[in-house]
Structure 1
């Protein structure tokens, strides 16, 4: 299976491996013979649904058909010696055709100005960004069986596409394992008279691998999107807000460990890396923090993957009494090299404001870091920072207060009541606003809250919304936080 993944990558859309080595025709043909056409097609479908996660089912279908046709035709005994190269070149050229039925992705035009191997290597590097909003919702048992009985092949292909494109950040073999178990459940339960009992039993059995798929996708998605350093900042914030009594020196080693696990396992070709490594990781979290937080202790009574889901889903804890937070000195903030003081300061703010969602804190970190770094590169860093401290403190406190209140109210009240409360608050705080302006701001903030105050809020989509929110709460002509 591991070798097959590498080989299929060599013929998937670009038809050249990333190091420019000759095509692996003989090995591909061997795998096609061993697996058979159906299994070979399924693996190709999973891989390309992950790589082009925003492509349509039809586009992926055309691509997989082309890949399988290439393998079948050129692996036949009577195939010409140059069959593989010719067809691979033809498919590479077809991907550059504006009318190509294959998945569309940014950057294809710049690849298509090249020819031969250079074009193929360029196409190999292209990849659609992962979905920010999941699109797969599982139908009812009745609908599942109805679709399966109507056309088992179409049902299986559609499921592989939906599931793989929604969990595109999960390690490949974890997805393969999860989809295989799910389709076995469908085959078994949809052919039995007592379907409900069968589905209940089977879903319990496949739950661990499905949870591993879901959690791997979330963790690897954040790691791949943010990069290692920003991922660790975010993970530190989350853990500090769930266990605010924990010191940062206790939190950081576990965050470092998590970063190493994801670096090792997110793109691995082994099927047990993520499961084994995360199992050890959650046990260490339990050992260190169960005595500090009762809810963590409750999570730690479960099985490994259930512990991970439970810890991830834990709401932020209530704030605890902590010492007054003081600004770092200008010498600390402007320290040369990899300066951790800004990060430490923001993490301490997060510990003291546990109900402020992480995406709002991320924005605070970015704005604060930009302003501090600007002063540090000025001729008089001390004077620059001191002159901005008072206004910056005021702006940060207002931002924290309003963001926390917005999200707290969203979770506390029914949506219509939340909007009504928001409207009254805006009219009271900014009496100069017209009715239409109030309505516009209510819609903007209710949309912000319903999207970005959630634990799985989409970071890219929320970034612009939070920027507008920050600009709207600025009371000065020129605000420092931007």
Structure 2
């Protein structure tokens, strides 16, 4: 067991108000106190989340030890807040605590981070996070009866272990989201452990929780990736769109004030600063609820809820109705003769106003599409404001916007037509091949996850009335998974170009990608054609997962083959598995047929 060095140990104060920005308005004071109490009550879980996300290979024993120490120090500092060690920022204090754990930095290879201080240390730990968690063992699965008994014996330890396992496999998910997942898991356990058919109950109730975690994980990684790669201005643009569409009657002045709180929240959440993130999100929701009469008519019930349920409710509330007096066009951006003067006075404010006005008028468009339109408008004005007759030049803006939207619509239509013609399985195989050809450097697990993500996006959206926005938004999240969060992530020159050049246009950029010519396939099949009788004992889902992995690895081995040829070899492999599993001696069948298939593929 690792020992904590308590000499010069810096306390991780999740609960200390002096380390955070103090509120000034009466309601903010109340909300701050409620949030602070929530943090105090969950200090152990928050410690586990932060530690497990930063040091993903740390054992549960190591993580739990730190959580217990922090709970003890919480009690100590609540008794005497004047202690000198109680003034550090929470995240800085935690990193110092982690670095003080004897032997841990060297064992888990982060000593270089501990040699840094302040921002440089925080950045080092952040860049140490790994989205591809193939180095971790599979998530442990317990028999339902064993699970229920473990929870009844020690519910706190059971939930702590669950939070630890989920956090280290989702290093970029925000702490409030993981705490919400933990609450939902506990509710599921309490319900299912009282059921006769516990296994079916767990299987059914786990699905929405997993979907919630995956969806929030993708969204948060995409937004943080944009923030860290392109800076705060892109983050503000994303949220101008999001908030203007959700709350179309919000005034621009109120929107800009709210954006400051959002930007502050994300600077902490994206770094993995759990306390800053929890307080930041609470502040955003307090701001919205304080001004709800002028922001939205759809969130009254949400604002009556307690923290953190209030935040979850607002995030998932429906868009407010577009004001009746709000026309679909705002002529002042295309017909006003003073556009260039107004733009030149303050380009950031001018473009923010344009994005705000266009987004609140077009709730049917996706976030990426509205960002593309703003990009097209900005480029047009750069040209027109240097022309001889600017108003004539930018009078064609609306047709440019329509042209951009039409191109995006055609992309969506092609994808939905593909879904209709190929079906769910055929669609998955199409994207497994496509993604592997354009980014073969990614791990097999990552590529299968991306393929499943595209299938989820298209099967969820292609039958909806709001098909365009739904597909465009969800597919953009899949691309966010490829691009990753860290600024220093590289895959290959073509993919890197799409990820780092222009956030708004990365989808059209990916659409144009083909086979990666820089990739050198492995010289050997690396066990690809070594089949085991264990395949015959797999459940349908696990067998399908292994078949998907075979297809990805086949493309990595033979990326130059046409898609039709790859699908044909994949079909032969599937037939071989089915045939051998039905044979009297599956092992002998695999030993005879496997090498034959390998030889045919290798010479193709």
Give the TM-score taking structure 1 as reference length. Answer: 0.51
Render the CA deviation track for 1:13-72: whole Å, top value 9, x for unaligned.
xxxxxxxxxx754648999xxxxxxx99987653233225xx5xxx3439948998xx9x
C-alpha distance in structure 2 between counterparts of 1:29 and 1:245, whole Å: 45
Match of 1:252 in 2: 256
Q: Is the 8 A contact 1:45 1:60 kept in 2?
A: no
Q: Is contact 2:163-2:182 (8 Å) kept?
A: no
Q: Which residue of 1 aligns with 2:473?
A: 453
What's the counterpart of residue 61 of structure 1?
A: 59
Q: Distance in 1 between matches of 2:99 and 2:246?
A: 58
Deviations 1:421-475 (A, max 9, x none): xxxxxxxxxxxxxxxxxxxxxx9997997763339835634865944527989xx
Alignment of 1:191-340 (within 5 A): 222=223, 225-226=226-227, 228-244=232-248, 246-249=250-253, 251-259=255-263, 267=273, 269=275, 273=279, 276-290=282-296, 296=298, 303=305, 305=309, 309-310=313-314, 312-314=316-318, 321-325=327-331, 326-327=333-334, 329-335=339-345, 339-340=348-349
Residue 398 of structure 1: how far off its partner (Å): 0.6
Once the 2 structures are TM-superposed, how far is the Cα of residue 238 of structure 1 from its aligned partner? 1.8
Question: Shift of the alpha carbon at 1:389?
Answer: 3.6
1:416 paired to 2:425: no
2:115 maps to what in 1? 117
Q: Residues 387-412 of structure 1, C-alpha deviation per residue, up to 9 Å, x if partnerless?
A: 8646765433211234357659989x
- 1:397 to 2:402 alignment: yes
For 1:350 and 1:358, the matched residues in 2 are separated by: 9
Deviates more, 1:348-357 or 1:398-407: 398-407
Does structure 1 conserve the Cα–Cα contact (< 8 Å) formed by 2:244 and 2:360?
A: yes
Task: Provide the residue aligned with 1:49 in structure 2.
Answer: 52
How much does 1:318 deviate? 6.8
Instruction: Write the distance in 1 (CA, Å) between the matches of 2:12 and 2:356.
Output: 54
Is the Cα contact below 8 Å between 2:342 and 2:350 reproduced in 1? yes
Distance (Å, rounded) in 2 between the aligned partners of 1:65 and 1:385: 62
Deviation at 1:363, TM superposition (A): 3.3
**Cα contact 2:304–2:310 (8 A) shared by 1:** yes
Structure 1 match to 2:125:
126
TM-score, normalised via structure 2 length: 0.43
Contact 1:50 1:167 in 2 (8 A): yes
What is the rounded CA distance, in whole Å, between the counterparts of 1:276 and 1:261 in structure 2? Answer: 9
1:469 — aligned with what?
508
**Alpha-carbon distance between aligned partners in 2 of 1:181 and 1:300, rounded to the nearest angstrom:** 18
Over 3 Å counting, the alpha-carbon distance change for 1:133 and 1:145 in structure 2 is: farther
Per-residue deviation at 1:344?
A: 1.8
User: Unaligned stretches of 5+ in structure 2?
Assistant: 14-41, 70-96, 424-453, 462-467, 484-497, 513-604
Question: Distance between the aligned counterparts of 1:63 and 1:308, measured in 2?
Answer: 31
Q: What residue in structure 2 maps to residue 360 of structure 1?
A: 369
Distance 1:309 1:303 in 2: 8
Distance 2:352 2:142 in 1: 51
Deviations 1:132-174 (A, max 9, x none): 8999xxx9x9965545658998996355221464374434xx5
Question: Is the CA contact 1:355–1:404 (under 8 Å) kept in the aligned structure 2?
Answer: no
Quick check: 2:238–2:367 contact (8 Å CA) kept in 1?
yes
SS of residue paired to 2:275: coil
Distance 1:252 1:316 in 2: 19
Q: CA deviation at 1:247?
A: 4.7
Evaluate the alpha carbon distance shift between residue 314 and residue 41 of structure 1 in structure 2; reply closer, same or farther with a 3 A threshold: closer
Paired residue for 2:578?
A: none
Structure 1 unaligned blocks of 5 or more: 1-7, 12-22, 32-38, 72-83, 97-101, 103-107, 420-442, 474-482
> Following the alignment from structure 1 to structure 2, what is the Cα–Cα distance between the partners of residues 181 and 311?
17
1:51–1:168 CA contact under 8 A, matched in 2: no
* Residues 1:468 and 1:248: Cα distance change in structure 2 (over 3 Å): same
Which residue in 2 is equivalent to 1:350?
359
Cα deviation for residue 361 of structure 1 reads: 2.0
- 8 A Cα contact 1:316 1:354, kept in partner: no
The alpha-carbon distance between structure 1 residues 249 and 147, as it changes in their structure 2 partners (threshold 3 A), is same
Count of residue pairs the alignment pairs up: 365
CA contact (8 A) 1:169 1:220 kept: yes
1:417 is displaced (CA, Å) by: 6.6
